[in-house]
Amino acid sequence: MSTLKNQLAFFGQFRKRFETTGAIAPSSRFLARSMTSYLAARVPGVPVRILEIGPGTGPVTDEIVRTLQPGDHFDLVELNDEFVRILKARFESEPHWKRVASQCTVHQLPVQEFQTSEPYDFVISGLPLNNFPVDLVRVITDAYFRLLRKGGVLSYFEYMYVRPIRRVITRGKERERICAIDDLLRAYCDQYRIRRDNIWINIPSAWVQHLQTK
């Protein structure tokens, strides 16, 4: 029942705030597992710091909390007030979320305004970058790498073929925006990408990009 409520809440926010929600349904468990695959493969017993950006109702968060070990620190940055309410409620009510609640903090603000005293070993982002203005995408990607430690892993997803298709079918300023975002993200991937996963069982199907700083 809670899963259905979260799906309905997500769809409601999609209808109200498409620009910042970006999908009609929460991420599938297959996408969530891909997004957290490097975290799940971390060295056992060594505490790590994790940052999730744009967790929504928490489908990827659910995978993260299941992997948390003693000493780990997990921050979540979410701008949408309804999603923040849902996330906090899950930490108060769901057993495996409650188990690690003392290690986790939900922050409600834009990621570009988020500050931390220490960088993160893993940054996991669900933000719909293709929906944003180019300048905002540039600021957000700068924040990703500011918050990620040297040698850390950034994982984010994008829906398959969205930008290639838009580059062909759009015109004018919208095409300029899409091309600029494509060029920006492609440059980061060319420099830092270590793997790309194809996730077909998701709505829509998605690529998960894994980047590692040097």
pTM greater than 0.75: yes
The answer to which of 11-20, 26-35, 70-79, 122-131 has the lowest mean pLDDT is 11-20
C-alpha to C-alpha distance for 32 and 63, rounded to whole angstroms: 7
Do 57 and 78 form a contact (C-beta atoms < 8 A)? no
Q: Is the pLDDT of residue 156 over 80?
A: yes
C-alpha to C-alpha distance for 8 and 25, rounded to whole angstroms: 8
pLDDT at 131: 92
pLDDT at 18: 43
The radius of gyration of the chain from alpha carbons, rounded to an integer in Å, stands at 17
When pLDDT is cut at 50, 70 and 90, the band that residue 20 belongs to is very low
Decide: residue 211, CB within 10 A, 0-12 exposed, 13-18 middle, 19+ buried: buried
pLDDT at 24: 57
Question: Coil, helix or strand for 128?
Answer: coil
pLDDT at 9: 46
Q: Is the pLDDT of residue 118 over 80?
A: yes
**May I ask the CATH class of domain 2-212?**
alpha beta
> Could you give the percent of the chain with pLDDT greater than 70?
88
Count the alpha carbons within 13 Å of 68 in the hemisphere toward its beta carbon. 25
Decide: residue 136, CB within 10 A, 0-12 exposed, 13-18 middle, 19+ buried: middle
